[in-house]
């Protein structure tokens, strides 16, 4: 196969975490096996971890996880997959309106469609410039880092590799901050109850050992939350940052989301809103864990009103911000429209 391509075709590759193909035990087990075998996700020696993974985790967890996936599955499929497709389509439309002759494609880090397949398709269709945009606002080795790992492994097999730009994070991007802030305002405007007593920014958790080794994730989460709170004009006592989705027995970064909301309820806080700025698209961690499990925990501990504020998904303000982010990454590249403009001139 000839993988030498013209220099003027550019593509945007959006990458999300992933999802099982179906909310059934075999598909969930296959997905979890790929996810939990990643050395960046579980930073233990395979000699120690893999016996636990195959003899304990993959025999017990798929059934429980499949039930959770079924509780949020839609007729169109996995919410994460559906939302990612909508974002890609909306971003393509926005870039077209701006005269950007680039193609937007998307893939999953784990599961289907795979990153390797997406990269090979771009190569075979003549794209020599690729912007890879992991859909994680805050950087962690366990998320954005592992996306880069796939790219590096795939390019080892290629004779001619494309020009590559890789977005490390966008946790403090003004457009992203404004979009999250507006989503919160919109939720407050739509409700007669208005603002809650506490606004909780819940981010995906990370083992404390990763932070101790220098992972910038927690710092970036705190910076994102502070910027969003400032955009909303909130006082420090009005909001707090927590971390969800713990796995295993090791200590993870604190405070943990569910125990925090339960403690707030027991202290007499009656209303809380939870937003998840670390997720740009709704998924099992937001729709099931937050809007079901944490919701029930808050009410069960004596809280009165719990409101989950949905992710950005394909909100117009977010798509506009995403197009700005992409435009910045494309700057300086001789893309197709730039070449055509030169010829016309």
Task: Consult the annotation and say whether 285 binds a ligand.
Answer: yes
Query: Which residues lie closer than 8 Å to 327 by C-beta, 6 or more apart?
Result: 98, 100
The answer to whether 23 and 70 are in contact (CB under 8 A) is yes
Q: Can you tell me which residue has the tokens 């403009």?
A: 341
Query: Which residues lie closer than 8 Å to 299 by C-beta, 6 or more apart?
Result: 265, 306
Mind spelling out the 3-state secondary structure of the chain? CCCCCCCCCEEEEEEEEEECCCCCHHHHHHHHHHHHCCCCCCCCCHHHHHHHHHHHHHHHHHHHHHHHHHHHCECCECHHHHHHHHHHHHHHHHHHHCCCCCEEEEEEEEECCEHHHHHHHHHHCCCCEEEEEECCCCCCHHHHHHHHHHHHHHHCCCCCCCEEEECCCCCCCHHHHHHHHHHHHHHHHHCCCCCCCEEEEEEECCEHHHHHCCCCHHHHHHHHHHHHHHHHCCCHHHEEEEEECCCCCCCECCCEHHHHHHHHHHCCCCEEEEECCCCCCCCHHHHHHHHHHHHHHHHHCCCCEEEEECCCCCCHHHHHHHHHHHHHHHCCCCCHHHHHHHHHC
CB neighbours (10 Å) of residue 55? 10
Task: Consult the annotation and say whether 89 binds a ligand.
Answer: no
Binding-site residues? 204, 285
Binding-site residues for Fe(2+)? 204, 285
């Amino acid at each position: 196969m000839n993988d030498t391509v013209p220099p003027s075709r550019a593509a945007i590759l959006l990458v999300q975490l992933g999802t099982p193909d179906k909310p059934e035990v075999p598909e969930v087990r296959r997905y979890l096996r790929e996810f939990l075998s990643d050395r960046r996700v579980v930073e233990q020696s395979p000699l120690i971890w893999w016996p636990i993974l195959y003899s304990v985790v993959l025999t017990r967890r798929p059934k429980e996880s499949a039930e959770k996936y079924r509780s949020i599955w839609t007729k169109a499929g996995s919410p994460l997959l559906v939302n990612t497709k909508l974002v890609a389509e909306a971003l393509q439309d926005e870039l077209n309106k701006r005269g950007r002759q680039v193609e937007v494609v998307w893939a999953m880090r784990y599961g289907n469609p795979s990153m390797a397949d997406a990269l090979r398709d771009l190569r075979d269709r003549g794209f020599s410039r690729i912007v890879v945009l992991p859909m994680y606002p805050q950087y962690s080795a366990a998320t954005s880092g592992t996306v880069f790992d796939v790219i590096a492994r795939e390019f080892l097999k290629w004779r001619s590799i494309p020009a590559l730009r890789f977005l490390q994070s966008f946790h403090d991007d003004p457009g992203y901050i404004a979009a999250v802030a507006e989503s919160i305002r919109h939720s407050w405007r739509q409700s007669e109850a208005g603002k809650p007593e506490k606004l909780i920014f819940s981010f995906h958790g990370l083992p404390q050992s990763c932070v101790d080794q220098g992972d910038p994730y927690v710092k970036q989460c705190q910076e994102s939350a502070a910027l969003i709170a400032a955009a909303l004009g909130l006082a420090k006592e009005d909001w707090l940052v927590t971390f969800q989705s713990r796995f295993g027995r090791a200590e993870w970064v604190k405070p943990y989301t569910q125990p925090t909301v339960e403690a707030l309820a027991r202290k007499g806080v009656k209303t809380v809103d939870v937003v998840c700025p670390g997720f740009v698209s709704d998924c099992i961690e937001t729709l099931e864990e937050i809007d079901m499990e944490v919701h029930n925990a808050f009410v069960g501990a004596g809280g009165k009103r719990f409101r989950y504020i949905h992710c950005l998904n394909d909100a117009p303000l977010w798509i506009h911000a995403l197009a700005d982010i992409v435009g910045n990454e494309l700057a300086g590249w001789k893309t197709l429209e730039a070449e055509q403009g030169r010829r016309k001139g």
